[in-house]
Structure 1
Amino acid sequence: MKKISSTLLGLSMALAASAHANDKQLVIGTNNWAENIAVANMWKIVLEEEHGYEIELTDVGKSVLYSGLANNDFDISLEIWLPTTDKDFLAPYKDEIDVHDVWYEGTGLGIVVPSYVEIDTIDALRDSAEQFSYQGRPTIIGIDSGSAIAGLTDDAIDAYDLPMRQLYSSDPAMMAALDDAYQREEPIAVTLWSPHWAFAEYDLKYLEDTQGVYGESDDIFWFSRKGFAEDDPWLTQVLNEWHMDDDTLGGLMATIEQQGDPVEGARTWIGENRELIDTWLAAGE
């Protein structure tokens, strides 16, 4: 009887350990940042094709992302920058959202110019604003108006008294403008962040933020609706083990950019980085 009971107990534990592979539906809230698209598609492929999940990626604005997690419309999201950049987005929902572990350390954020541009500080941008005209006006080209970097750039324009506008667009539109100016070696100022594939493709530099408007370096965490860790302890352990650096994340983003498709690019990168991914997955065993 003891032997049979032990066998049944072992079988029960094995079934519990693999429960995450059965009928698991997951909604991941995403935004249009290059690294967010990259890691969301990477995890969608790994979890669907190897662990039986059904994953829905839902692209929304920042404010909707946080309220959606708080209201259980989404299960997880893979990118929150703390302690500075996303603190104001998190603040109204800090009791309804769980922030989990860091997966990328040491972000960058600010106004970026090509390295051939002679100025090195945001202060110097004030006196050189006319050189950075876009569509007839001195311009810093940004991304969507609801992003944290857009708000900080508005603050920087005020703090440094820059005679410039911020032109809200999108990551792809901003990058298209950067590429066009870069190919012609013309001055251009854009809002950018690290990690981003642009730093692997172009010779760029951050303008020094002497007033500290953009804050100190952040880390990137993943976060979830309240109670997700109890509902899916396996995936929680796996994502808490997940870590990437400039080489691994930059490689993922560069592969996607080269292939022009986030799914195929992520799938190619997964095949080339099997050992790394297996170390993350092993945490759930």
Structure 2
Amino acid sequence: MRKVLYPLAAAALFSAATTAHAKDESLVIGTNNWAENIAVANMWKLILENNYDYDVELSDVSKNALYSGLANGDFDISLEIWLPTTDAAYLEPYKDQLTVHEGWYEGTGLGLVVPSYVDIDSIPELKKNADTFEYQGSPTILGIDSGSSIAGLTNKAIDAYSLPLEQVNSSGPAMMAALDSAYQNEEPIVVTLWSPHWAFAEYDLKYLEDPKNVYGDNETIYWFSRQNFSDDDPWLTRVLNEWQMDDDSLGSLMADIEKAGDPVKGAKTWLEDNQALVDEWLEASE
């Protein structure tokens, strides 16, 4: 009898908790076009809309627009700020207008990345091997959009190491398409990448050593919000403060999205397989 009643009781408790926290309100999440940002934004959109009657809008903007928009109240929250180094310059002008909450991922990576078959191991080695990394006729570091933090740090790295390479900026998908093409043909290529990212599960890659520490040390990813958000929605603030992911959980989420070719479908698949983890975040906030 206990084996029959226990899951029913658990379901009833979950239903009661869901009803108790039903919000029936709108939430605007500011996003940017990083793989993990897209992944977790769609994950939370599904959790909140399917279980708590939120109406969640995802608004994809540039980094500069994200921070100014939060400061102006155009967005309620954003799920990704890297500190203490990578996003510090974006936060600085608005630090008195934004609230940085708890971290949800520790141990990020950031820098210049090459396939493991490439026979160099450090950024200084790029200087004497620049011609090896030609792209469309010029020694090139392939990057993402020019307004991103990693693009700015890469420009600093080019100066710090006096590299005779030019950073060519494009979208994340375009950069990954170039990496995939080079990798399939075992051609040399150097790109700007970060951890967490699904690419490290798909390809055998390595960070180039950064002896001048231009890209900084490992960091933590936090979520942040407009002022007074925690007063307006204390329950969701508690939930997000309990949220924790690691390489396995976040990597599998991004991999499901990449496999599905759609962030909503991929996030839905992941949630079906990882409900116990999500329940931990929700239950810890009670």
Normalising by the residue count of structure 1, what TM-score does the alignment of the two structures yield?
0.93
Q: Deviations over 1:69-105 (max 9, x none)?
A: 0000000000000000000000000000000000000
What displacement does 1:46 show?
0.5
- For the pair 1:249 / 2:258, whether they are aligned, the reply is no
- The offset of 1:284, in angstroms, is 3.3
Partner of residue 76, structure 1 = 77
Displacement after TM superposition at 1:22 (Å): 3.0
Given that 1:20 and 1:232 are in contact with CA atoms closer than 8 Å, whether structure 2 keeps it comes out as no
Counterpart residue number, 1:64: 65
* Residue in structure 2 matched with residue 101 of structure 1 by the alignment: 102
For the structure 1 residues 64 and 19, does the alpha-carbon distance in structure 2 shift closer, same or farther, using more than 3 Å as the test? farther
**Contact 2:99–2:227 (CA<8 Å) still a contact in 1?**
yes
Residue 170 of structure 1 and its aligned partner are, at CA, apart by 1.1
Work out the number of aligned pairs and report it. Answer: 271
Equivalent position SS for 2:26:
strand
Aligned partners of 1:283, 1:170: CA distance in 2, in Å?
38
Distance 2:161 2:206 in 1: 19
Return closer, same or farther for 1:188/1:17 CA change in 2, 3 Å cut-off. closer
Structure 1 stretches lacking a partner, 5+ long: 1-14
Specify the alignment match of 1:52 in structure 2. 53
Q: Residue 225 and residue 19 in structure 1: after superposition, are their counterparts in 2 closer, same or farther (change >3 A)?
A: farther
Look up the equivalent residue of 1:146 and give its one-letter code: G
Separation (CA, whole Å) in 2 of partners of 1:147 and 1:127? 27
- Structure 2 gaps, min length 5: 1-15
DSSP 3-state at the match of 1:276: helix
Aligned residues of 1:110 and 1:149 also touching (Cα < 8 A): yes
Alignment of 1:71-220 (within 5 A): 71-220=72-221
Distance in 1, Cα, partners of 2:23 & 2:249: 30
Contact 2:110 2:215 in 1 (8 A): yes
Verify the 8 A CA contact 1:70 1:97 in the aligned structure 2: yes
Q: Which runs of 4+ in 1 moved over 2 A?
A: 15-20
* Structure 1 residues 37-84: Cα deviation after superposition (integer angstroms, max 9, x where no partner): 000000000000111000000000000000000000000000000000
Post-superposition offset of 1:127: 0.5
CA RMSD of aligned residues (A): 1.3
Counterpart amino acid of residue 178 in structure 1:
L
Q: Is the 8 A contact 2:24 2:52 kept in 1?
A: no
Aligned residue for 1:145, secondary structure, equals coil
Q: Deviations over 1:148-172 (max 9, x none)?
A: 0000000000010000100000110
In the aligned structure 2, how far is the partner of 1:86 from the partner of 1:259? 30
Provide the identity percentage: 69
- Distance in 1 between residues matched to 2:23 and 2:233, nearest whole Å: 12
The Cα shift of 1:17 comes to 9.1
**How far apart are the structure 1 equivalents of 2:17 and 2:65?**
34
In structure 2, what is the Cα distance between the partners aligned to 1:55 and 1:211? 42
